[in-house]
């Protein structure tokens, strides 16, 4: 049974192009399946999360991170009596617009666009992917996803203004997104705040002592784990502690969101949409712990000297390739040359690069700009 304030699929605002109902899948389940079968989704397997495969092929990539976010999102949505099918579809699609090389690639692509008076935003790019770039159906371009999934792509992590983005006006920018969409940014944080500690520890870039000192929530759980399992290998103690950290984040998000819904007397989806702010949230204490974990990762992992060369390489490759195609648009694939007749060349080049995997962009760089 779904809560009254959940998104009920039978009340969906529907698709751009009307389609007959499927005999045994509801519309959000069909959206989930369309995302999973999309080429852009498959490409996430070869896009960096934090570590390239130079370290190990055991570490998270953008696809495995997405699957972890999806698992956490379904769990929390179910506990809150929200629409788990919608939450799952939104989690699966939430990173589909990311370019190669993780945040370093995104930073370089945005910087290249800004030199031409434009910008790159992975949420807006994700919408372009599902609305236009994916071509699987004879009747329409894109995936023809429901309004609620398209809205969630735009609004799950950012509030856009209609004044700055009139092209997004149909997505109710003056209203809050449903709770299913609000969850995604938070489950994303839970996933990478714990997984990146794990990968950083496995990569020997973060030591147990450093983590215990810099991440108080981890240090609080570790002594009890050590007492219960004094003889097991250190990595298993680490795993047990990290599991407790993840559980604390998840438990708190469920409990605190329930409390906030009750305090605000939220009864319907319209109440959620018209509330002054987002209702899904951690408690103040756990929000402080989340920030401490995130700050630790930024200071000790994401900007660590061990990863700086790879980040520099990533930014250089994206920048030089972008500049090459700006100067040599005839070197673009034919379909992108055709697109450049209708859209600005910088936007077309941006779209091309953003869709690349790490492996493919390396190949293109070696072909056009010389070995890295």
Is residue 54 predicted with pLDDT exceeding 80?
no
How far lies 226's CA from each of 187, 221, 231, 239, in Å?
A: 28, 9, 8, 11
The CA distance from 130 to 336, in Å, is 18
**Which pLDDT does position 154 carry in this prediction?**
96
Q: What is the mean pLDDT of residues 333-340?
A: 95
279-331 pLDDT per residue, tens:
999 999 999 999 999 999 999 999 888 888 888 999 999 999 999 999 999 99
Which CATH number, 3.40.140.10, 3.40.50.300, 2.60.120.10, 1.10.3210.10, labels domain 24-307? 1.10.3210.10
Phi/psi zone of residue 121: left (φ > 0), alpha (ψ -120 to 50 degrees), beta? beta
Length in residues, the chain: 372
How far lies 281's CA from each of 48, 82, 122, 260, in Å?
A: 28, 15, 23, 8
**Domain coordinates in residue numbering, the chain:** 24-307
How far lies 163's CA from each of 113, 168, 175, 183, 288, in Å?
A: 21, 10, 14, 26, 33
Is residue 37 predicted with pLDDT exceeding 90?
yes
Beta bridge partners, 48, equal 61
Q: In Å, how far from its chain's centre is CA 79? A: 22
Mean pLDDT taken over the chain: 95
The neighbour count for residue 288, using CB atoms within 10 Å, is 13
**Which pLDDT does position 48 carry in this prediction?**
83
The structure's pTM equals 0.95
CB 77 within 8 A of CB 55: no
**Which pLDDT does position 52 carry in this prediction?**
61
**Which pLDDT does position 55 carry in this prediction?**
59
**Which pLDDT does position 49 carry in this prediction?**
80
Q: What are phi and psi of 167, to 5 degrees?
A: -70, -15
What b/e string do you get for 133-146 counting C-beta neighbours within 10 Å, with b at 16 or more?
A: bbeeeeeeebbbbb
Is residue 59 predicted with pLDDT exceeding 90?
no
Span of 58-62, 149-153, 259-263 with lowest mean pLDDT = 58-62
- For helices 84-93 and 27-36, what crossing angle results, to 10°? 20
Q: Could you give the 3-state DSSP secondary structure of residue 64?
A: helix
Is residue 53 predicted with pLDDT exceeding 70?
no
Q: 372 pLDDT band (50/70/90 cuts)? A: very low
CB 110 within 8 A of CB 346: no
**Which pLDDT does position 306 carry in this prediction?**
83
Two structure tokens written together for 330? 């005839």
Percentage of the chain surpassing pLDDT 70?
98
Percentage of the chain surpassing pLDDT 90?
92
**Which pLDDT does position 309 carry in this prediction?**
86
**Which pLDDT does position 370 carry in this prediction?**
81
Two structure tokens written together for 70? 């999806």
Span of 37-51, 200-214, 255-269 with lowest mean pLDDT = 37-51
The CA distance from 131 to 122, in Å, is 14
Q: 56 pLDDT band (50/70/90 cuts)? A: low
339-368 pLDDT per residue, tens:
999 999 999 999 999 999 999 999 999 999
Q: What is the mean pLDDT of residues 64-90?
A: 98
């Amino acid at each position: 049974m779904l809560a009254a304030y959940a998104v009920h699929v039978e009340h969906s605002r529907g698709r751009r192009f009307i389609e007959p109902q499927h005999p045994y899948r509801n519309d959000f389940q069909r959206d989930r399946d369309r995302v999973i079968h999309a080429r852009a989704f498959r490409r996430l397997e070869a896009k960096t999360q934090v570590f390239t495969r130079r370290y190990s092929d055991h570490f998270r990539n953008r696809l495995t991170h997405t699957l972890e976010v999806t698992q956490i999102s379904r769990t929390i949505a179910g506990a809150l009596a929200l629409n788990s099918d919608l939450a799952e579809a939104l989690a699966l699609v939430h990173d589909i617009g990311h370019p190669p090389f993780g945040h370093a690639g995104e930073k370089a692509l945005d910087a290249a666009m800004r030199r031409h008076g434009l910008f790159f935003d992975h949420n807006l790019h994700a919408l372009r992917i599902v609305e236009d770039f994916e071509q699987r159906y004879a009747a329409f371009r894109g995936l023809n996803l429901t309004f609620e999934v398209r809205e969630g792509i735009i609004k799950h992590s950012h509030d856009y203004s209609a004044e700055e983005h009139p092209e997004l006006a149909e997505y109710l920018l003056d209203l809050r997104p449903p709770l299913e969409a609000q969850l995604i940014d938070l489950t994303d944080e839970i996933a990478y705040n714990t997984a990146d500690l794990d990968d950083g520890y496995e990569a020997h870039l973060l030591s147990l002592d450093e983590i215990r000192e810099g991440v108080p929530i981890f240090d609080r759980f570790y002594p009890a784990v050590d007492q219960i399992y004094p003889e097991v290998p250190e990595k298993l103690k680490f795993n047990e502690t990290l599991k407790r950290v993840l559980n604390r984040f998840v438990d708190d998000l469920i409990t605190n969101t329930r409390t906030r819904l009750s305090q605000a007397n939220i009864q319907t989806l319209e109440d959620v949409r018209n509330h002054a702010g987002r209702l899904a949230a951690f408690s103040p204490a756990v929000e402080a712990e989340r920030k401490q974990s995130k700050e630790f990762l930024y200071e000790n992992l994401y900007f660590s000297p061990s990863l700086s060369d790879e980040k520099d390489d990533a930014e250089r490759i994206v920048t030089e390739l972008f500049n090459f195609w700006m100067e040599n648009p005839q070197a673009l694939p034919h379909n992108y040359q055709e697109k450049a007749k209708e859209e600005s060349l910088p936007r077309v080049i941006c779209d091309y690069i953003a869709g690349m995997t790490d492996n493919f962009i390396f190949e293109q760089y070696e072909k056009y700009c010389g070995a890295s």
